[in-house]
A and B are shown apart, each in its own frame.
Chain A
Amino acid sequence: MKPDGFILGLSTGTACIATCAPILIPYLLGEGKGILGNYGTLGRFLLGRLFGYLLFAVLAWTVGSAILQEPVRRSLIIGMAYILFSGLLIVYGFFKKAGASCKGDCDQVRFRRLSAIRPSWLPVAAGFATALSFCPPFLLAFTGAADQAGLAMSLLFFFSFFLGTSLWLILVPFIGAFRRFAVLQTVGKMAAGSMGIYYLYTGSLLLTGGLKLW
């Protein structure tokens, strides 16, 4: 497992739970299944998410291998990407009001429309759709995956990111425990913002290394 991807996923996980749960919970409640049944639905949702993430890992690796072959250029581009996206993550974490999240209202509306149909593959599709949210943590994960040495490592990085975020979602079937989504979302976003500071440091090291400042 890649610790960087895993920690990034874990630190943003409560923000994910706070945004994914309002999508998942109405569906789970609507299905009216027990905890085991809810886990089945959650499993399909996570499968869709994993599929989406792995697709992006391939895309990240393609970008990395196509344009980031030369080491100095690689350090500069990845360093700048880290700084840019970690800056976005810090703004997202500390300065954006709760509710304006990466997987916010649009996803919920989309899902509500889809849930009227309610076929069995719907959770897979919803998971896939939420994976394609270009929020700052996701963009940082994309940059991290692009910075990996090979396709397998990129896939592993996104898989670790997926695991980190998914650990929190395992708790969703116990619906009652998460009444205070707004609080969780604020805490999760601030943790993500703090993680952004770490990535800002990593990006600065890469950039200064590329520029040979030390």
Chain B
Amino acid sequence: MVKKDRAGIMPATQQPGIGKTLLLCLPMILITAIMLSQGQLPSDPSRVTAFLAAFIFINAIFFLMIRTGETDRWRAILFVTYAVCFVISFITHLIESRGSMAISQANMIEGLTPFCHIVIPMTLVPAALTKTIIFPGTIVGTKTAIASMFVLWIGSSLALGRGFCSWFCFFGGLDEGFSRLFKKARIKKIDLRWTYLPYAVLLLIVLVSAVSLAPFYCQWLCPFKTVTEYPEITSVKTALQAVIFISLFIALVMVLPALTKRRMQCGLFCPMGAFQSFTNKINVFEIRIDPGKCIQCKQCIATCPTFSMTEDTLAEGKTGMTCVKCGKCIDACRQNAISYHIKGTPLTGGKEEIYRRLFIYPAFIFLATMSGGYVQDAIAKTIKLFTTGNIF
């Protein structure tokens, strides 16, 4: 039985050599080169620098994932960077094109609101009943159009299940970043009853949106409006909405994750996460615990960021349906008892690393595809800010 060393890293003898690692990384190097350059190198020097920096950074992360056998440690770095870069890129783009982060009624009527995946559960019932998408955005034509997001969501859900929340979602990294601020959790005891709250929020928003034919979550409950765009404040109602957005962001995305070291917004509030949990049922990848290796240290329960590992699930030898497949429990398990697994295959057989690679290739392609553009754009804008004093 191969155990990890004290730092949770695979022993050097078990790691692939540099040559083999590079060979395993080659497909990703080619894919990211094509994807980040979109077929041609930019002419602007700051954009060339940004392209090279993003390309090297993303591939270095993948290289380390393959070489060390650790998933979450490296994924988290790119995932958090992606979220921060998304915010920088998105906000600067809004200010550049509209002059403000606020979206006016006129912008909404013109269909200029970018579509975000969290709206998806709210649109399904009205779309089925009225053949209308209840969102003030465009159906096709841009990267943030409704059809593009639906296609990406369906593809990533089939490939990753709820792994979507750790490898795709541009908001999840903010929550995760704050959850990693401190070394130790200040709040450790959390009533697991609250893990049902996302389902309640999902139920509520689906029902209210279906009856009111408006995206209720976006109007009243989305914490991420604070760092993206929010309705122009023109009345007491819109002011109250802004207060709710900011309060939820501070509480669920900043303070509580920092104090608990968990992804509180993702684990205890996000309705899209709850909705996405059902896709874990159709996805071929899962996380399994080998009872023969498990010594019941419960380190996995303590580290799981979305409360998907409990004593009950541990006894069943798998994670709960809310598992985001981040790999944190796998990295934390010194006994190597937890691994990525393909449903229907035997648990033992020494194929854990093959299953892991089969999962992280598609997962990383999604992460690199989603993050690449934003990371490049944020780097280019930062360079511009430092060289010209103007970010736009």
Give A contacts to B, CB under 8 Å: 3, 6-7, 10-11, 14, 93, 98, 183, 186-191, 193-195, 198, 201, 214
Interchain CB contact under 8 A, B207 and A190: no
| Complex Cα gap A98–B191 (Å) | 13
Question: Among the listed B193, B200, B212, which residue makes an inter-chain contact with A194, where contact means beta carbons less than 8 Å apart?
Answer: B200
Contacting residues, chain B, for A183 (C-beta < 8 A): 196
- Closest approach, in angstroms, between the C-beta of A11 and any C-beta of chain B? 6
Given known A-B contacts A183-B196, A214-B236, A191 and B204 have beta carbons under 8 A apart: yes
Which of B196, B208, B211, B212 is the one whose CB lies under 8 Å from A190?
Answer: B196
CB within 8 Å for A3 and B197 given contacts A191-B203, A194-B204: no
Instruction: Please indicate the chain B residues that have their CB under 8 angstroms from the CB of A188 in the complex.
Output: 200, 203
Report B255 CB to chain A, min CB distance, Å.
19
CB-based A-B contact count at 8 angstroms: 42
- Other contacts beyond A3-B212, A183-B196, A187-B203: 14, CB < 8 A: A6-B211, A7-B208, A10-B207, A11-B204, A14-B203, A186-B193, A186-B196, A188-B203, A189-B200, A190-B199, A190-B200, A191-B200, A193-B200, A214-B236
Q: Could you tell me the distance between the alpha carbons of A14 and B197 in the complex, rounded to whole angstroms?
A: 14
Q: Are A195 and B204 in contact (CB-based, < 8 A)?
A: yes
When chains A and B are docked, how far (Å) is the Cα of A214 from the Cα of B240?
14
Interface of B is mostly: helix
Among residues of B, the one whose C-beta sits closest to the C-beta of A208 is B236
Task: Report if B201 contacts A (CB, 8 A).
Answer: yes
**Given A186-B193, A214-B236, A7:B207 Cβ within 8 A:** yes
- What secondary structure prevails in chain A residues at the interface with B? helix
Expressed in whole angstroms, the Cα–Cα distance for A74 and B212 within the complex equals: 26
Interface size class, chain B: 10 to 19
* Pairs A-B, 4 closest by C-beta atoms: A190-B200, A191-B200, A191-B203, A187-B199
CA distance A3 to B196 in the complex (A): 25
CB contacts under 8 Å to A, within B188-210, are 193, 196-197, 199-201, 203-204, 207-208
Measured CB to CB, the nearest residue on chain A to B212 is: A3
Using an 8 Å CB-CB cutoff, how does the interface string of B232-244 with A read, 1 for contact, 0 for none? 0000100010000
Is the beta-carbon distance between A11 and B196 smaller than 8 angstroms? Answer: no
A130–B307 Cα distance when bound, in Å, is 36
Tell me which residues across on chain A come within 8 A of B203, comparing CB atoms: 11, 14, 187-188, 191
B211 touches A187 (CB 8 A): no
Residues on A with C-beta less than 8 A from B212 are 3
Q: Are B200 and A7 in contact (CB under 8 A)?
A: no
Of the candidates B201, B204, B236, the one having the most CB atoms from chain A within 10 angstroms of its own CB is B204
* B204 cross-chain contacts in A, Cβ below 8 A: 11, 191, 194-195
Min CB–CB distance B324 → chain A (angstroms): 20
Task: Chain A residues near B208: list those with CB within 8 A.
Answer: 7, 11, 198
Residues of A within 8 A of B199 (CB): 187, 190
* Residues of chain B from 159 to 203 with CB closer than 8 A to chain A in the complex: 193, 196-197, 199-201, 203
How distant is B173 from chain A, measured CB to nearest CB, in Å? 26
Nearest-neighbor residue (CB-CB) of B203 within chain A:
A191
Query: How far in angstroms is the closest Cβ of chain B from A168?
Result: 10
Contacts of B207 in A (CB 8 A): 7, 10-11
Most B-side CB within 10 Å, residue of A6, A93, A189, A194: A194
A-B contact pairs, 16 of them (CB 8 A): A3-B212, A7-B211, A10-B211, A11-B203, A11-B208, A93-B200, A98-B193, A183-B196, A187-B203, A189-B200, A190-B196, A190-B197, A193-B200, A194-B201, A198-B208, A214-B236
